[in-house]
Copies of this chain bind each other. A is one copy, B any other.
Amino acid sequence: MTTASTGAPRWLTDEEQSVWRAYLHATTLLEDHLDRQLQRDAGMPHIYYGLLVQLSQAPGRRMRMTELAKDAKITRSRLSHAVARLEKNGWVRREDCPSDRRGQNAVLTEEGSEMLRRSAPGHVAAVRQAMFDRLTPEQVRGLGEIMRVMAAGLEPEGAGADLPWLR
């Protein structure tokens, strides 16, 4: 799927450019902000924190590596490194999967849970202050809809999600 690019490129309109710039600024500023907040208060970057949250919500507080990677939208390689680090911190433990001897479960430890309990309030406050406390309820609804549409279009599975895939 090499973006056929027949004909002249359709450039962005002025409004689209402005929206795109605002999108890039807001998303990078927010990501940086959360990374620093969590690095300071929990000693890890945002994505690592997200992994612990996922685990905390999974049945048995454990998940297969591949599943966790898929849910968190990261590569298995990246997850391997991340879990190694979280393991060193004592927040996650690996265990062999009983049903598939290739498999590993990442398990949230008690220390990991405790860490989440301690840092969740500050994290939620940061998210609130950056996003939800600044938007109207209609904007929140609209943002949700927009983000779901975009995510759906980018999911690897839905290769058929390319819009006008008719000639």
Contact = CB atoms under 8 A, between A and B. Distances in A.
A84 interface: no
Query: Chain A, interface size: which category?
Result: 35 or more
A27 interface: yes
A140 B73 contact: no
Interface in A1-56: 3, 5, 9-12, 15-16, 18-20, 22-33, 37, 50
Given A3-B122, A29-B73, A29-B151, A144 B12 contact: no
B22 A125 contact: no
Contacts of A151: 22, 25-26, 29
Given A9-B121, A121-B9, A129 B144 contact: no
A155 B29 contact: yes
B144 A130 contact: no
> In the complex this chain forms, how many copies of it are found?
2
Contacts of A122: 3, 5
Nearest to A126: B3
A37 B132 CA distance: 32
Contacts of A146: 26, 135, 139, 142-143
Contacts of A132: 12, 16
A166 interface: no
Interface string A130-167: 11111100011111111111110111000000110000
Interface of A: 3, 5, 9-12, 15-16, 18-20, 22-33, 37, 50, 73-74, 120-122, 124-135, 139-151, 153-155, 162-163
